[in-house]
Each structure stands twice: as C-alpha cells, then as structure tokens.
Amino acid sequence: MSGKVWLVGAGPGDLGLLTIKGLDIIKSADVVIYDRLVGEDILKLIPKNAEKIDAGKKSAEHKIPQENINKILLEKAIQGKNVVRLKGGDCFLFGRGGEELELLKDNNVDFEVVPGITSALAVPAYGGIPVTHRDFSSSVHIITGHQKQNTPLSINFKSLAKCGGTLVFLMGVENLGNITKGLMSEGMRKDMPCGVIEQGTTPEQRKIISTLDNIETICEKENIKSPAVIIVGEVCSLNEKFDWFDKLPLKGKSVIVTRPKDREETLSKKLKALGAKVIKCPCIETISLIDDLTFNEILDKIKAFDCVAFTSPFGVKIVFEKLFEKNFDGRIFGNKKIAAIGSATSAQLKKYGLSADFVPKTYDGKSLGALLGKTLKNDSVLLLRAKEGSAEITKELTKAKIKFEDKTIYYTKYVNSIDNEIKQKIVNGKIDFITFTSQSTVKAFTSIIKYGYDKFIGVCIGEKTNKEALKYGISTIVSKKASVCDMISSIILEVKKCR
C-alpha cells in the first residue's frame, strides 16, 4: 500500500509561526525531507524514530539536486511511509512545491499541501513594516530576486517601478545592487525608502533601513547575508514607529538554560517570548527511584503521616505517574495536608487536582521547614524529595520537634558533556547569560566547562545557588524570589542597566 506525501510550509523561522496542522503532521511523520531555512526549533519536533533527510538548498549549492528530491519523495511514499517535505516559508511561493507534486501525481501517490506563513509578509511585520497601508500602498508585489545559475536576472523593472505598490524581493540579497539599479533605471526615485531584514523573525534578526540609492552600500558595510528579505516602498518609513520585535527587552541577548530537559521548557519559552536567543544545555538530569517496592512503601507512609511535602515539580510528577500506572489517583491523599516548596511545585500539584495547603513566601527548604514547624504542631510530615536534598528542611522540623520521615524518590545525575559548539560560544564570549536554577546545575556546569567564567553573567535562582556560583568566580545576579519569573526579571533589569 502506497504512503502519502505532505508538503508542509514551516514558516519563516519562528517556531510560533508554524501552523497547528503543520505541527500535527510533522509529529506523525516517518520521513522528513527538510530545507536549510527551516528553524532549529521546528526540526526538533521531528519524531526521534523518523528518517531525516537534509536537502539544505542555498544559492548555487544544493546538497540534493531538485530532481533527486522529487524521486526521494516518490520512493519513500511507494514504501508505504508518511513523508513530510518541510520547506521554509510557504510551499508554493518560490518553493518549487509544484515541481515536487508533478512526479507524485504522475505515479498516483496521494499528497496534501499545508500552506506556511511566507517570509514575504512575516519578516516585514517583525521589522515594523506593514506591506500595505491606506496612506502609502494599496498593493504588494512579491518577486524572486534569485535566478537560475549562469543566467541573467530576469525582472520586469519597468512595471515594478511604475506600479506604486510595495515590492518584496525574496532570495535577492546577492543581487541587491542589480535590483536597486534596475528600479532606479526605470524611474523609481533614488530616495525611495528601502529596507533589508536579515534572519527575519529569529533572535538574530538585523534590519537595515535606508534609501534605494544607498541601501547596497550600507548592507555591504554591515555584511548582510542570506537569508534576507528586501522591501521597497513608502511603508518602510513606518518601521521605527511600528517596530515591536527589536524593542523586546531581551532582543539580541543569548541565554543558556542549564535545567534538565523535563523542566527547561517553561523558562525557555518565557525567554524566547522576550526576544532572547535561547540555547538549551541541560547539565543535569533527574532520575526516578520509584520502583514497585518503593511505590508500595510510599502508599503506606502517606496513610501513616498527616502531611505530605513535595520539594520539586519533578517529585510531584513521578509520584503521580506511578499512581496512574498502578490505577490509583489523587484520592490516596484523602484528608492529608499538602505542602509545596514554591509556586512551580504548587502549580504542578494543581495539574493533578491538588491544592497545596502550605507554600512558604520564600521558596527554599529552610522557609518550608520553618512554616511547617510553626503551623503543624502535633502533625507528622512525610518528605518526598531528592536524594541530595537540603538539610535545612529537616533542621527546622527537628527544631520544632515535628515528627517526620525523609523519603528519597529521585536523584540528580550530572551530564558528562556539552556540545562543542556551545562550549566555543561560552569561552569566546558569545553568551550573555547562563541560568542556574540549583546548586546542582552550577556544580554540573563547572565540572564540564573549566574556564571562561568571566565571559558571561550567571543568573542564580537564590542565595544558595549564588554562593555556589561565586566559588568559581562567576559574576552573578540573583533573583529576589526562587522563581523562573523572578530570574527573568533580574535579567531584564541587568540588560536595562547596561543599555
């Protein structure tokens, strides 16, 4: 039985601009053939067991010739596989999608097209340029600035110069001079506003705004490279007024997130939304210790104690995963009191239908222990937490003469290595901030990276983490509260200070 091919437009680079339908289809793919301009975050959505084929085309350099790509799509589909042809931008706008479908149609292979957001519209929008505006332009014209190898640029400059609309050139940065000269030679005025936006919709986005006669000189000076979008028209004069992307508080800043994979997404998403270039570099991983025997012990202890205290979202997650696996649910907590070390742990409990009775104002072990010691009096406490958990909780409970048991349910393991490209960025001063959400992340990071600590600022979630970072001479800033939101606020304040 023959498979099926989906042509999916991946959009201009920003993961958030991928369509919901495109996301669903990528996740169900057996084979993905992708182009150079597909964003890294989108490529990470490809299933681990899917075959990945890099067709990475750029000007005059094709890893796989177009006719071979067409054949691969056909061959994989005939093998009965779900095949995704993943293209930057939109499939049919200078994407040669029509060519790829012809061979499939000739061989009666099913296919479907999922349009993508084109860079011709998205990139100007991220640069503060509306391609149409009632006061300036009532039409937009999208033109390829790229020609076949060894053939002259074939553009009807006479018509474009007279049309009165906004002109958007894709794949044209290498021909920028020919484009501007062609338009001026047909009568377009030399001082017509013009913009070139490189790496549009990504944290690396750069924008050059000038006039038609001067834009090439500035772009050469600034070493503007492909991919870049060229916009010509009066609407370019609105770019400062409507620029929102470059004004994001962390635009242009690179931030490494060292959290374990299972907990990195919340921090990463918030940083990206503020314009930061986020590099995920988990330095630790958390390993569950809850086997069947341990689970039965936990059930017995929950029954025996008055209060159950969780000290991390991961602890909550693995307990409930095991509960569901064994056909239990939150009812086992019955009338037990529930404590959480902070807002993230409390939020994780709410996902499973439980509200924490006790959450300290300061999110650390000492504060949680002190709160329980002050509040519980004659009640007993079951601590479900990490093997290397802080002794401050138990000290406070002991001081308050609270009966408790400290039950280990997971441990933290250091990651042995970091991608060499990330290492080079750190030691070469290409990273602005590295986030540390625990002492363990600091210890793990410094066990791998032995130098270059003066090249970045460490963002620490609390004083204990900060003290650990200071041992290695890392310049730090510390969040007032032990929360992701407060860490981000600290970064924003630091950036504002330096501007």
Q: What is the pLDDT of residues 378-404, one digit of tens each?
A: 899 999 999 888 889 999 999 999 999
pLDDT exceeds 70 at position 466: yes
Split at pLDDT 50, 70, 90, the class of 74 is: very high
Which residue among the candidates 35, 90, 364, 432 is catalytic per the annotation?
A: 35
Q: What is the pTM of this model?
A: 0.85
pLDDT one-digit tens code per residue, 361-379: 888 889 999 999 999 988 9
Query: Residue ranges of the domains in the chain?
Result: 4-117, 121-242, 254-283+415-498, 287-413
- The CATH class of 4-117 is alpha beta
To the query of whether residue 57 is one of the catalytic residues in this protein, the response is yes
> For the chain, what is the mean pLDDT?
92
Mean pLDDT, to the nearest integer, of 131-145? 94
To the query of whether residue 35 is one of the catalytic residues in this protein, the response is yes
pLDDT one-digit tens code per residue, 220-251: 999 999 999 999 999 999 999 999 999 999 99
- Assigned fold of 121-242: 3.30.950
CB-CB contact of 495 with 477 (8 Å): no
pLDDT one-digit tens code per residue, 438-449: 899 999 999 999
**What pLDDT was estimated at residue 1?**
65
Mean pLDDT, to the nearest integer, of 330-357? 94
Q: What is the 3-state secondary structure (H, E, C) of the chain?
A: CCCEEEEEECECCCHHHCCHHHHHHHHCCCEEEECCCCCHHHHCCCCCCCEEEECCCECCECCCCHHHHHHHHHHHHHCCCEEEEEECECCCCCCCHHHHHHHHHHCCCEEEEECCCCHHHHHHHHCCCCCCECCCECCEEEEECCCCCCCCCCCCHHHHHHCCCEEEEECCHHHHHHHHHHHHHCCCCCCCEEEEEECCCCCCCEEEEEECCCHHHHHHHCCCCCCEEEEECHHHHHHHHHCCCCCCCCCCCEEEECCCHHHHHHHHHHHHHCCCEEEECCCEEEEECCCHHHHHHHHHHHHHCCEEEECCHHHHHHHHHHHHHCCCCHHHHCCCEEEECCHHHHHHHHHCCCCCCECCCCCCHHHHHHHHHHHHCCCCEEEEEECCCCCHHHHHHHHCCCCEEEEEEEEEEECCCCCHHHHHHHHCCCCCEEEECCHHHHHHHHHHCCCCHHHCEEEECCHHHHHHHHCCCCEEEECCCCCHHHHHHHHHHHHHHHC
426/434 Cα distance (integer angstroms): 9
Which residue among the candidates 57, 272, 277, 464 is catalytic per the annotation?
A: 57
CB 460: neighbour CB atoms within 10 A? 29
pLDDT exceeds 90 at position 59: no
Split at pLDDT 50, 70, 90, the class of 36 is: confident
**What pLDDT was estimated at residue 451?**
86
Mean pLDDT, to the nearest integer, of 248-257? 95
197/270 Cα distance (integer angstroms): 24
Fold agreement between 4-117 and 287-413: no
**What pLDDT was estimated at residue 61?**
55
pLDDT one-digit tens code per residue, 421-462: 999 999 899 999 999 998 999 999 999 998 889 999 999 998
The CATH number for 287-413, chosen from 3.40.50.10090, 1.20.1200.10, 3.40.50.740, 3.40.50.2300, is 3.40.50.10090
Question: Among 106-120, 134-148, 326-340, which stretch is predicted with the lowest mean pLDDT?
Answer: 134-148
Q: How far is CA 213 from CA 171, 185, 337, in A?
A: 20, 11, 72
Q: Does domain 254-283+415-498 have CATH number 3.40.50.10090?
A: yes
116/10 Cα distance (integer angstroms): 6
**What pLDDT was estimated at residue 397?**
93
**What pLDDT was estimated at residue 148?**
66
Which residue among the candidates 171, 188, 192, 487 is catalytic per the annotation?
A: 171
